[in-house]
Every structure is written in structure tokens, then in C-alpha cells.
Amino acid sequence: MTSIELNKYSDQITRLEKANRATEAQSAKLSPHHPHAHPVHVMYGGAHLFSENTFSKICQMAQDAMKFAATDGKSLRALVGADWTDDFAGNLYTRVTKKLADEALEDYRIDFEDGYGVRPDEEEDAHAKSTAATLVTLARGLKTPRHVGFRIKPLSIVAMRRSLRTLAIFIKELAAVGVKDSGLKHLVVTLPKVTNAEQVATLVDILEGYEDEHRLGPGFFGVELLVESPEAFLSIDGTLPLPGFIAAARGRCKSLHFGIYDFTSSLGIGSAGQAIDHLACDFARMWMQVAAGLAPGLGISDGIINRLPLVPKEHSKSAIAAFQDTWRYNYTQMTRSLTLGYYQGWDLHPSQLPVRHVANHVFVLRELDQAVSRLKMFTDKASKASHVGGVFDDRASVLGLINFFERAVSSGVLTASEVTNLGVDLDAVRRTI
């Protein structure tokens, strides 16, 4: 179409440009104002159990569970039932044991909801105050994980006043014990059982007020939304609520987390069918994925696996066999989540952390050589479509490869220098697309 012909459609082109800009502006509005690297897991622990030893104890238990599960690459390969080479298995074992020693725990929530239960007001008041003080003490000693926060009760009719009371006490104590000078720069508040956008908007209004009141700075509090009810996926008038939930957070929403058991229970699914790989859960995951895709930088987390690979107290053949079977089940489900594009999961016990890190490392390392070859080929062809080993690459798939390397670094599987040493220049690749 020539420029003369384009002039005939100037009104239509103007409308199109306006619509495109509006779409881009909407995505920018939904996206987190302070995007951050998303952890590979999150762990919750009841507020009544939180102490100065919690994080160190979790990390030590994770390392102990790994030592029981496998002592070297070959025993890890046998445990998983994989066909890895000796070199791959040895490299994997070395990397995972180092990860567990350096940073077994990446993300943690002090829990005032399901992991805490309903308690007398004076007891929850005391725990809200003590956990806030303990968290600041740990932050001063550089003993907190990279990501940390707390889960309040839902803002439902029944629980909202207790929930907001806990929030107020916790934040007031944070300020009183000097969180501003503790080194803790950001704290996540997890809102469970979200059923309408007003719950999110109310929480954000209150958090903004506390930031101003206690001079914590704008954006100190981020928000995570636990998606675990039908109302989050479909409203009575047929609209899709999730984008409205994200918008109501006004740039504070860091991620959407999936609550498997509340969701499946609400659909009438019995306990025998309540599992992370139920088809109803896959349905919900896809809706969450699409909603998150509207907001670049927003994370998503899969739900819990309730079969725990606990180290048996008695090391009988049957007990060890049961442990290994549960370990493999966790590994299979975690790998499935990664394949579906859920790069963060929800762990209930330190014994799941070794499985989580093994699954995450395998997911990256097994694809590494081909990913490097594909990126190099694409760069060499200066942004033209290419294929390596029967895999066709164009701009869209190369964006996926860039995401692959960025996640590999942010999750600690690879270092930035390792990526560079592999001959991968992500900045150069970005310039070609």
C-alpha cells in the first residue's frame, strides 16, 4: 500500500494507533511498579512457631533431607529414575548441594491464616507483635531470605476485622523496633481467598496509609493475591475478575498464588481427587497465566503438594521405599509445574526444598546446550528465522530463550558469568529482535 493510498485511511490508522497505545498503557498500569526476580518457591509457617531460629532450622533440615535422599550424583540419578550421564548427574548434585548450603530458603511467609488458625484475640495480638520484632532482629543480622512477608486472614465478612487488626499491630511493631534501619527494604503481604476487587483496593489503601504514617517510603509493602475461589475466575455477570483484582492493587501486586485445596473443595471435589494435577487445577492455572500475561513482570506460583517426603525415623526397607516413592512424586509434580510455565511453587516442609531445587536445576541444565546453540544461531543470522536440530526459531521463540537464561540466573542455577562464558550475550540478542 503506497503512502497516497494510506492517506485515504488516515482516520482508521489514527484510531488504530490510539487503540494500540491504550492497550500498552493498560498493561503498564497492571504491571508491578517494582518488579523483582521471582523465587522458585515459597514456604509458609504458622506465626505461633516463628522464632529467630526458624530460617536457619529450615535450611539445616533441607540439607539433612538431601543427605538422606542421595549422597552423590549416581544415587540421585537412581532416586529420580533418570537416564542422566555420569557427568550430568555429578554436576547436578554438586550444584544442588551448593544451592542448599548457600540459599535453601528463598521465600517465606509468616502465616496468620490456615497455618495459624483461629485463636483468642489477645494471643494473635501477641504473635503479631512478637513476629514483627523477631523479623526485624533477623533482618539486622542479615539472616532473612531474599523474599519475606506475612499472610493475613481474608478480608471476608467474618474475618476482615481480625485480619486488619493483625495487620495494624504487625506494622506498628515493625515501625517501633526500627524496620527502616534494619536493612529490610521490602515486605510482601499475602491476601488469601480474594473474592472481589474491593478487598484488594482496601488493603492497598491501608498499606499506603501505613507507609505514609510510619515513613516507610512508597512501595515498601507489596501484595500477593491467593487465588483459590470460583469468584476469582468468573463473576456472576459473566466477567473475568482476575484482571480487576490486579488493577485494584495499583502496581503493588507482585504475583498470583494458586490455592489448590480451597479451589477444588469449592467445586465439590472430594479429598481423593484433590491433587495438584487435577484437571480443574490445570483449568485454573491457565486462567491465572492469561491474567498474568496482561501484566508484564507479574509472577505466578503453583499450589502445594501435600505428600511430604519426610525422612523416616526408622530406616526399614519399607520406610525408605515409601520415602523414595514420595520424593519421586514431588519431583514429577514440580517438573510438571515447570513445564506448564509455573516457575514458582509452594512448599510445606523443609524436606521438599531439595526436591524443588533438583527439579529446577534439571529443568534448566537439561535444556542448556540446545538453548545456547539456538541463541547463537539466531544471532548469527541477524534476527532471521532459524532452526537448530529441527527446532524453528523466530523472534517470539527467542524471547522465550532470553527468559530461559534470565530465570536460570535469577533462580541461582547459573551465574551471570557462567552465561557469558557459554558465549551468550543477552544484550546482543535483544538488539537483534
SS3 271: helix
Q: Are residues 386 and 311 in the same domain?
A: no
Using only the alpha carbons of the chain, give its radius of gyration. 23
Higher pLDDT, 399 or 259: 259
Q: What is the pLDDT of residues 4-28, one digit of tens each?
A: 566 777 787 788 788 888 877 777 7
Rounded average pLDDT over 416-427 = 87
* pTM recorded for the entire structure: 0.89
pLDDT at 383: 47
Instruction: Mark whether 156 and 247 lie in a shared domain.
Output: yes
Question: Could you say which of 312, 336, 365 is where a domain stops?
Answer: 365
For the segment 162-176, what is each residue's pLDDT rounded down to a tens digit? 999 999 999 999 999
Residue-range definition of the domain harbouring residue 287: 41-365
Q: Which of 296, 198, 297 is nearest to 248 (CA)?
A: 198
Q: Give the mean model confidence (pLDDT) for residues 286-313.
A: 93
Same domain, 373 and 337: no
- pLDDT for 85 beyond 80: yes
Which has more pLDDT, 391 or 258? 258
Judge whether 35 lies within some domain: no
Pair 275, 399 in one domain:
no
The pLDDT value recorded for residue 407 is 87
Cα separation, 323 vs 346, whole angstroms:
20
Q: How far apart are CA 171 and CA 221, in angstroms?
A: 10
Q: What is the pLDDT of residue 393?
A: 55
- Mean pLDDT, the chain, rounded, equals 91
Quick one: pLDDT band at residue 252, thresholds 50, 70, 90? very high
Pairing mode, strands 221-227 and 344-347: unpaired
**18 falls within a domain:** no
Number of Cβ within 10 Å of residue 357's Cβ equals 28
Q: Of 365, 388, 419, which closes a domain?
A: 365
- The string of pLDDT tens digits covering residues 382-417 is 545 555 555 555 677 788 888 888 889 888 899 989
Of 34 and 39, the one with more pLDDT: 39
Give the Cα separation of 401 and 209 in Å (integer): 41
Which CATH number does the domain housing residue 229 bear? Answer: 3.20.20.360
- Whole-number Å distance between alpha carbons of 416 and 354: 23
pLDDT in tens, 270-294: 998 899 999 999 999 999 999 999 8
Q: Is residue 187 part of a domain?
A: yes
- Indicate the number of domains in the chain: 2
Residue 398 and residue 263 share a domain: no
Calpha distance 348→62 (Å, rounded): 12
Least confident of 32-36, 200-204, 363-367, 385-389: 385-389
**127 & 80 share domain:** yes
